[in-house]
Every structure is written in structure tokens, then in C-alpha cells.
Amino acid sequence: MRPARRRPRRPERRARIAALLVRAYPRSWRERYGDEVLAWVGEGGLGPARALDLVRGAMDARLHPELVEKGLIRMVERLRGSVLGVLCGYAVFVVAGAGYQKLTEYEDFTAAANRHAALGATSRTIVVASVVALVAMVVAGAPIGLATVRQALAGRRALWRPLGLVALALLWTAGTLALMAWRGRSSPLPPGTMASVSEVAGWLASLLLAVTVGVAAAVTAVRRSELGLGLLRLGTAAVAVVAAAMLVMLGATVWWGLALRSADPALFHSHEGIRASSTVASWASIVALMTASTALALRAGVRGLAANRRPSG
Amino acid sequence: MAPADLSSLRRFAEPSLFILSSLAGGPKHGYAITREVAELGGPSLGPGTLYSALARLEKLGLIEALPAEARRRPYRLTSAGAELLRTELGRLARLSATGLRRLGTA
């Protein structure tokens, strides 16, 4: 005998019907009032008369689309998209930047930077631009993050899971870095061996997983949160600075490779790359990753600045 | 620009007057407005009528939305909304006084 299908309980059924009726409204109206109507139905219930009232409301909203400020909603979404686009680009860029840091920390490269002014200048440029990018990212991200956490604490349940995942990703990253440091101090494996390569690959996979989960969860949380226009305008301006700083760092990294090739061709063509790989391959991979992430951030930053210039009314 | 009266809102004029009166007591979210309008003796506002009226009042600058709390968003009266409500209630008070006087009950 086929088991009886469970009938949804009355509040669930009511919520489903209300969600279906709200879909009859124009999209801009749903984005502005949809959540509120569903909250209203959650408190007040939904009988046939109220369902009919919603249908009449949907017809009215379609006859009077001018009632909802479409332009304002689109602008808010563009500004939010700009901040999130640069955040994603920056996260990838940081991974590439860590690769550059790892590549240039070897003694041969620090000695070359001391010998050749051009190499030293690129390193200093990257340090200054990375500090500018970090400060701008904090200026953009801290108020948005605080607003999101405040809304979660005020009972916005949709934010609980993504914010929990962000916290978990941060703990995971800190734990991985601490374990890496402890392992490096206690019994480091000789570089170039299979065991060493596997260990490094494991650490990298762990960090990449944490960063990917953390960024995806942060993006979800910010998309679900209610952010004021002022906060998003500030965020958009700050992330434009981040994108510009990324472009400067990309230029300096390209310049570093070209300067090394002309100043010390033997070192450039050696196998002093990350974990004793080809220097050229390591540099080219880092530049490729930086180029992709900078292109993403610049596109998002420019779109945000264009939206920011428009009047808000 | 705020209108001189609520007549341009046609079938939403009466619900709007009750909504403005409810918000005169402080910011409220949608369902709290509906409940108070019923307590004030106003029409029974379904969600469709309520949010159609709120959208019009917001568009006219008579009320403004405050940051959402969970999925509920409180609204408050603007100074233009308070001014218009005062005018409308004054007109109704004069009408009421005149009508009652003529009936000999005031």
C-alpha cells in the first residue's frame, strides 16, 4: 500500500499560497514589499477574502507600476553587486598575492631586489598598494559586515546560516595557518620530495576550501541583508579604490618579472619558483590569476561608480 | 510633492486616512497598522489594500519606511503627512460639529 502523502500543515500551506499570490505582483513591487506582505500573512492569516484582496492588489500594482521606485531598487542592486564583485576579485587576488610573497621570499630573490633598483621598487610598490587595498576593503566591508551582523542578531534568520559559515571559514583558516606554522617549526619535510609536495597541496586545498566557503557565505549574507543607500555608496567608493590598488599591484608584479628577466636572466629561467618549480611558470601563473581577479574587480568597480553617479530619486 | 488632501487616492483615501491616524501614534509595521485601524473603527484592511495604500502614501512623501526588522518594516509619518492629517481631521471635525449641531445633539 502506498504511504499517504503528508499534507502540509495549515501555516505552511498558507505561506505557500501567499508566496504564490505575491508572485502575481510585478517584480519591482515584490522586491520592495514582497517580504512584508508574507510577514503580514504570517501574523494575520490568509482566508479567501484576504487572498482575493491580494489578487486585487496585484492588479492595482500592475496598473500603477510608477508606485514603486524601480530606479532606486536597481541602483541599490548595482551598488551591492559592485561591492560583492570587488570582494570576490580581491579574495582571489589575495591568494595570488600570497603566491607572489612565497615566490619572492627566497634568499636569491631578496638579494636580487637589493642589487637591482627596479626589483626593489616593484616590491615597495606592491607593499604600499596592498596596504591601501586592505584599508579600503576594511572601510567598505566593516560597516556592511556590522549592519549584516546587527540584522542577524535582530532576528533575520536568513542571515544566520551564511554568517555561521563565515565564522567557521575564519576559524578553519586560522586553524590551518596555525597547523602549517607548527608543522614548519617542528619537522619540516625536505622540499621537492613527493611527501612535501603532497603536504603543501593539502594545506593549499584546505585554505582554498576555507576561502571559497567564506567568500561564498559572505556574498550570500550581504545579498540577503538590508543595506541603506548611504552604506552602499560608501562601500562602492571604497571598493573602487581596492580595484585601482589591485591594478597597480598587477602592474608591479608584471614589471617585477620583466625586470628580473633583464637584470638576472639566469635566476628568471631557474627552478626557484614555488616549491622548486619553474620561476617563469610560477610568475606567469601568479600574473594570470591576478589579471583575472583584477579584471573582475575593475568591471564591478566601474559599474558601481557609474551607478553611484546617478541621482538616487 | 504632498497633495492638499487625500481625494486623489480615490478608493484608497479612506484607508489612507486611518493609516495616517494610526502612524500618528508612532511607527508601526504592516500588521500592527491593520490591527489598529480595526480598533479605530476603520475598514478591515487586507494585505493587498494595505500595501497599495502604503505604496501611494510613501510615493507622496506622507510616510516613510524605516529599516526592516526581520521581514517586517515599520513606517512613520513624515512632517508633510502630519500636516495633511491635521488638515483632514480638522475638516472632519468641522463637518462633525456642524452636522451634530444641526441634528441638535451638540
* Interface test mutation site (partner B, options A23, A32, A33, max chain B beta carbons within 10 A): A33
Burial of B50 (0-12, 13-18, 19+ CB in 10 A): buried
Beta bridge partners of B72: B69
Range of the domain at A39: 10-63
Cα A163 to Cα A147: distance, rounded to the nearest angstrom: 12
Query: B70: which chain A residues are within 8 Å (Cβ-Cβ)?
Result: 39, 154-157
Residue at A70 is within a domain: no
Q: Which residue of B has its CA nearest to A52?
A: B48
Predicted pLDDT at A129: 96
Interface of A with B in 287-306 (CB under 8 A): none
Three state DSSP letters for A2-51? CCCCCCCCHHHHHHHHHHHHHCCCCHHHHHHHHHHHHHHHHHHCCCHHHH
Please identify, among A63, A80, A108, the residue that sits at the C-terminal boundary of a domain: A63
Query: Which residue of A lies nearest to B44 if distances are taken between CA atoms?
Result: A50
Residue B52 with chain A: CB contacts under 8 Å: 57, 60-61, 67
Q: Specify the 3-state DSSP secondary structure of B72.
A: strand
Cβ-defined contact of A44 to B56 (cutoff 8 Å): no
pLDDT at A202: 86
pLDDT at position A312 = 45
Residue A154 shares a structural domain with residue A204: yes
Whether residue A27 is found in the same domain as residue A157: no
Nearest Cα residue in chain A from B30: A40
What is the distance in angstroms between the CA of the first residue and the CA of the last residue of chain B?
38
Of A43, A50, A226, the CB nearest to B67: A226
Verify whether the Cβ–Cβ distance B67 to A57 is below 8 Å: no
Whether A289 and A156 share a structural domain: yes
Q: Is residue A34 part of a domain?
A: yes
Query: Are residues A20 and A138 located together in one domain of the fold?
Result: no
Q: Scanning every residue of chain A, which has its alpha carbon at the shortest distance from the alpha carbon of B69? A: A154
The last residue of one of the domains, among A47, A63, A79, is A63
Let me know if residue A273 belongs to a domain: yes
CA A113 vs. chain centroid, Å, equals 33
Residue A3 domain-assigned (yes or no): no
Three-state SS annotation for chain A: CCCCCCCCCHHHHHHHHHHHHHCCCCHHHHHHHHHHHHHHHHHHCCCHHHHHHHHHHHHHHHHCHHHCCHHHHHHHHHHHHHHHHHHHHHHHHHHHHHHHHHHHCCHHHHHHHHHCHHHHHHHHHHHHHHHHHHHHHHHHHHHHHHHHHHHHHCCCHHHHHHHHHHHHHHHHHHHHHHHHHHHHHHCCCCCCCHHHHHHHHHHHHHHHHHHHHHHHHHHHHHHHCCCCHHHHHHHHHHHHHHHHHHHHHHHHHHHHHHHHHHHCHHHHCCCCCHHHCCHHHHHHHHHHHHHHHHHHHHHHHHHHHHHHHCCCC
Pair A181, A132 in one domain: yes
CB contact under 8 A, A50 and B47: yes
- Residue A312 belongs to some domain of the structure: no
**Cα–Cα distance for residue pair A252/A129, rounded to 1 Å:** 10
| pLDDT reported for residue A253 | 95
pLDDT of chain A along its 313 residues, tens only? 455 555 556 777 888 888 889 989 988 788 788 888 999 998 888 889 999 999 999 999 988 887 886 666 677 778 888 999 999 999 999 989 988 988 888 888 888 888 888 888 998 999 999 999 999 999 999 999 998 898 888 777 788 899 999 999 999 999 988 888 887 777 766 666 777 778 878 888 898 899 899 999 998 998 888 777 778 888 999 999 999 999 999 999 999 999 999 988 888 888 877 766 788 988 999 999 999 999 999 999 998 888 776 544 3
Q: A104 with A242, same domain? A: yes
Residues A238 and A289 in one domain: yes
- Does residue A55 belong to the interface with chain B, where contact is any CB pair within 8 Å? yes
Gyration radius (Cα) of chain B, Å: 14
Please check whether residues A97 and A215 belong to one and the same domain. Answer: yes
CB-based contact B48 A54, cutoff 8 Å: yes
Kindly state whether residues A105 and A24 are assigned to the same domain.
Answer: no
Whether A57 and B51 lie within 8 Å, measured CB to CB: yes
Do A16 and A153 fall into the same domain? no
**Is B52 touching A (CB cutoff 8 A)?**
yes
pLDDT value for A111: 86
Cβ distance of B54 and A33 shorter than 8 Å: yes
Do A36 and B30 count as a contact with CB atoms less than 8 A apart? yes
Question: Do A39 and A111 have their domain in common?
Answer: no
Contact: A61, B69; criterion CB under 8 Å: no
Whole-number pLDDT of residue A210: 92
Sign of the Cα torsion A72, A78, A81, A83 reads negative
Q: If you average pLDDT over residues B4-18, what whole number do you get?
A: 86
Q: Is A261 contained in some domain?
A: yes
pLDDT digits (tens, 9 = 90+) for B46-92: 999 999 999 999 888 899 888 777 778 899 999 999 999 999 999 99
Average pLDDT, chain B: 89
**Alpha-carbon gap, residue B76 to B66, rounded angstroms:** 7
One domain for residues A169 and A30: no
Asked if residue A179 is part of any domain, the answer here is: yes
Please check whether residue A281 lies inside any domain of the structure: yes
Task: Please state, in angstroms and rounded to a whole number, the distance separating the CA atoms of residues A206 and A268.
Answer: 30
pLDDT of A238 reads 93
Predicted pLDDT of residue A275: 67
Q: Are B57 and B20 in contact (CB under 8 A)?
A: yes
**Total domain count, chain A:** 2
Nearest to A129 by CA among A232, A255, A243: A243
Contact list, A69 vs chain B (CB under 8 Å)? 59
Q: CA nearest A33 in B: which residue?
A: B51
Q: How far is A171 from chain B (nearest CA, A)?
A: 27
